[in-house]
Amino acid sequence: MKNKILFSLAVLFFVFCFVVLLKGLKNSNIYIPNALSKKTLASFKSEDLYSGITILSDKIFVGSEYYVLNIWASWCLPCRDEHSILMKLKNNLSIKLIGLNYKDDPNNAKKFIDKFGNPYSMIITDKNGTIAIELGAYGVPETFVLNKNKKILKKFIGPLNQKSLKEIKLILK
Amino acid sequence: MKLLKTFLLFFIILNFSQISLAENNIELKNKISKNIRCLICQGQSVYDSQSDFAISMKLVIEQKLNEGLNENEIYEFLKNQYGQWITYDPEFNKKTFILWVLPILLFFIGGAIILRKLIVQKL
């Protein structure tokens, strides 16, 4: 009797482990940092893409109700896909769209903008990728929606699409 | 002449201390980057990885060390930005307690079973 109970318990334990591991197999094994982190954007110093003048982030994020910070690069293919979405966002008057050009050649970045249009109010550069790390980003493209207090309302990892455009518009409402 | 010697000695000592400080920082930078997970090449540490993310991360670690932050402060900063998962050393909290408690629990259960068998054999 005792052996039977022990045997059943062992079987139950193994079934439990099997189910847990099987469920775990279906989970994505790619870790994505906490996308919705209600943090305030860290201050940083950067250079303007066109003028080359060094600017403090506190002077960039002023005078608007909402800010959209988009990390992009001319060498990044998904950035081309999301560019049309950014062009649509440009027309929204309640936001200031800021582009952070990530590890890019300035000439290539300018060519990219000339070819696809400029949706940004300002383009700043991150030549060695350290600003992106300070912001908690991990690659391109990545987009942050911030309020006037520079609090991160939403973070989109990967290219923006129609669904994310709707989400941004919902936040702005 | 004496003044020149004193000045030279002072200069050499100052240089040596700067070199050893720089070496310490490089060692610490390597140690920290070995304990940080690369989020692009997951499964590799920042130290091993050559991805853009890892290269930038190494630069940030170097900057933070130059700013005077210590090892723990750098880990805290990165955990704050990227979450607990970025470090290889998991903290003890409600999400990880099974990870920490289970081996100890299994060790005691195993020990108890072995002890019981030994006592039974002696009897």
Evaluate whether residue A72 is within a structural domain: yes
Distance in angstroms (rounded) separating the CA atoms of residues A96 and B109: 61
Residue of B39, B56, B113 to mutate, interface with A, max A Cβ within 10 Å: B56
Print burial letters for B19-54: b (CB count within 10 Å at least 16), e (below 16).
eeeeeeeeebbeebbebbbbbbeeeebbbebebbbb
Evaluate whether residue A1 is within a structural domain: no
B2: exposed, middle or buried (C-beta count within 10 Å: 0-12, 13-18, 19+)? exposed
Tell which B residues from 32 to 91 touch A, by Cβ distance under 8 Å: 37, 39-40, 42, 52-53, 55-57, 59-60, 63, 80-83, 85-86
**pLDDT tens-digit readout, B19-61:** 666 677 888 899 999 999 998 887 899 999 999 899 999 999 9
| Chain B residues within an 8 Å CB radius of A35 | none
**pLDDT tens-digit readout, A23-63:** 888 876 666 665 555 688 888 889 999 999 999 988 888 88
CATH number at residue A109: 3.40.30.10
**pLDDT tens-digit readout, A106-163:** 999 999 999 999 999 999 999 999 999 988 887 889 999 998 888 888 889 899 999 9
Distance in angstroms (rounded) separating the CA atoms of residues B83 and A148: 25
A82 near A141, Cβ under 8 Å? Answer: yes
Strands (E), A6-121: 45-48, 54-56, 66-72, 95-102
B106 touching chain A per CB within 8 A: no
Which domain, by its residues, includes A50?
45-172
**pLDDT tens-digit readout, B89-122:** 877 888 788 888 999 999 999 999 999 999 998 8
Distance in angstroms (rounded) separating the CA atoms of residues A68 and A153: 10
Q: What are phi and psi of A26, to 5 degrees?
A: -80, -20
Amino acid residing at A113: I
pTM above 0.95, yes or no: no
A43 touching chain B per CB within 8 A: no
Evaluate whether residue A64 is within a structural domain: yes
Please state the domain count of chain A.
1
CB contact under 8 Å between B39 and A31, yes or no, is: yes
Distance in angstroms (rounded) separating the CA atoms of residues A101 and A109: 7
Q: Which fold has domain B2-89?
A: Helicase, Ruva Protein; domain 3 (1.10.8)
- Extents of the domains making up chain B: 2-89, 91-123
DSSP state of B36: B
